[in-house]
Amino acid sequence: MATSSNIHLSPSQKPEFYVKGIGSETADTASELLQENHEKHHVFFNQSGFHNHIVHHLLTLYALNATPTELRTGYHDNASYQRPPVKLEQKVVDDMHDLERFKTYLGSEKYYHDFLVFFKQEIDAKGWEAVLNEYVFKGDERADDMLCRMYAGFFHPIIHLGFGVEFLQPAIIAEALAQACVHDAWVTPFLLESEAAASQTNGPPKTMTELLDEIHADKKLSSAAHWEDGNKIRDGILKRAKEEMIKYASQYKVSESELDEKTAEMINTTVYFTSTSQRPPHIPKFDFYYMHSVNASIFFSSFLAQPWLSTANKIRLLEWKVRLDLAMYASRGSPEPFLDAVSNYKSEKDSSWDELFQRVKAYSDDGHACKLIRALAHGEKVCAQYEEKEEFRVKGGLWKILGNMAMDSVEAGEPTWVRNTGFDEAWKNVPVKTEGTARL
């Protein structure tokens, strides 16, 4: 049984996207490895806030019906450089039950273990659904702060939460809550101010693609982030063009009747700007930061399906995701979209989805690639019914082309990803296509 302290996967579970035929040996192996990670490792593998991706990697491999051997290989590829959690301080855990004292521990990675134990105790006492509604979705000061922190770290806490919810694992939900608590809160003013501005915005809301096009055309916003900025949203967009960014972000609003469609639109648009941000004649590469917008997208389908989560909070989750996606797009220079770079792409392998799943399960990384392939396969499924709509720019056969393009790009070797794709400097070490290379 899955509890706040015990990770237990069952083949009878049906995740948001999975390959049929998952057996008990695969489930038991994944549970064992996830349990070891839960007990032995910190959420950051170094002092610079680099994330431990083992949960994301293993659960994605599991959903793609990896063999026990593939799961163990994926785990051991990444367990060697993890670090143990900081020693538990029971007095700190006790302190956290006081709201004012709780605040004093936020934003510091040294308290991850303490937050983890605190949330495990809360889940034991109240159930994970009630804990999420109290600490993340209640709408009071503490919950709003926690919800904002969920979007920090390039979506890592909310991705982690998404995995916990999708696979019904209270221990992983406790990890996600603790992870959010130890992230900083610089994104909070942007999310709250954009929401406040949206409530005062008149006129019909715009689609995400309309706003993407307007951001691309806005020279001040598109040039607000500089190559030398340490964090291109925080130090670039929100420092040099905050008003402009909020102006666009606040024009994105969702009504209850269109939640399903707008979730699909978000998925489609993040895939669109991530995949088309290429630099011909360089070989295709996906931007490392944009890729997180795609990898997070699948979990918003999971959130939609939760009966314990209010419609108002489902809307809020989606609106905040899109507003941060738009800031993410702007922060990498709002690059020109090359849709032809996708539609004209010819893969030498031209793999089916099943073949792509086999390729990515055998690929050695920390999970980013397999998350991307699963998110793309999921995107094809949820967007199919809306293909006639203009704002859905990724359609039909483009999905499988993108799966091949993504897999080819990581298998092509270093750099595995480009970082900050709208800048010339990002592409200087990316090979230019030659004869015999999969072509644009």
Radius of gyration of the chain (CA): 21
What CA–CA distance (Å, rounded) separates 232 from 230? 6
Closest-CA residue to 245 (of 184, 328, 347, 301): 328
> Rounded distance, CA 321 to CA 304, Å?
13
Question: With contact defined as beta carbons under 8 Å apart, do 338 and 278 qualify?
Answer: yes
The Cα-based distances of 414 to 81, 100, 418 in angstroms read 20, 47, 9
Distance CA 145, CA 99 (A): 12
Q: What was the pLDDT predicted at 436?
A: 44
Domain boundaries, the chain: 1-184, 190-427
For every residue of the chain, which 3-state class applies, written as one string? CCCCCCCCCCCCCCCCCCCCCCCHHHHHHHHHHHHHHHHHCCCECCCCCCECCHHHHHHHHHHCCCCHHHHHHHHHHHHCCCCCCCCCCHHHHHHCCCHHHHHHCCCCHHHHHHHHHHHHHHHHHHCHHHHHHHHCCCCCHHHHHHHHHHCCCCCHHHHHHHHHHHCCCHHHHHHHHHHHHCCCCCCHHHHHHHHHHHHCCCCCCCCHHHHHHHHHHCHHHHCCCCCCCCCHHHHHHHHHCHHHHHHHHCCCCCCHHHHHHHHHHHHHHHHHHHHHCCCCCECCCCEHHHHHHHHHHHHHHHHHCCCCCCHHHHHHHHHHHHHHHHHHHHHCCCCCCCCHHHHCCECCCCCCHHHHHHHHHHCCCCCHHHHHHHHHHHHHHHHHHHCCCCCCCCCCCHHHHHHHHHHHHHHCCCCCCECCCCCHHHHCCCCECCCCCCEC
Provide the b/e sequence for 255-267 (b: ≥16 CB within 10 Å): eeeebebbbbbbb
The 3-class secondary structure across 77-93, one letter per residue, is HHHCCCCCCCCCCHHHH
pTM, to two decimals: 0.96
- Nearest to residue 333, comparing CAs of 229, 406, 410, 185? 229
CA 293/CA 269 separation, integer angstroms: 10
Closest CA to 376 of 410, 399, 350, 407: 399
At residue 435, the pLDDT reads 52
**Strand pairing partners for 439?**
346
Task: Please give, one letter per residue, the 3-state secondary structure of 386-423.
Answer: HCCCCCCCCCCCHHHHHHHHHHHHHHCCCCCCECCCCC
Return phi, psi of residue 282, to 5°.
-65, 150
pLDDT in tens, the chain (440 residues): 999 999 999 999 999 999 999 999 999 999 999 999 999 998 988 777 789 999 999 999 999 999 999 999 999 999 998 999 889 999 999 999 999 999 999 999 999 999 999 999 999 999 999 999 999 999 999 999 999 999 999 999 999 999 999 999 999 999 999 999 999 999 999 999 999 999 998 888 899 999 999 999 999 999 999 999 999 999 999 999 999 999 999 999 999 999 999 999 999 999 999 999 999 999 999 999 999 999 999 999 999 999 999 999 999 999 999 999 999 999 999 999 999 999 999 999 999 999 999 999 999 999 999 999 999 999 999 999 999 999 999 999 999 999 999 999 999 999 999 999 999 999 999 999 875 444 33
Distance CA 215, CA 236 (A): 15
Give the pLDDT score at 437: 40
pLDDT of amino acid 205:
87
Between 141-150 and 188-199, two packed helices, what is the crossing angle to 10 degrees? 110
Report how far residue 150's alpha carbon sits from residue 160's, in angstroms, rounded to the nearest whole number: 9
Q: How far apart are the C-alpha atoms of 290 and 368, rounded to whole Å? A: 12
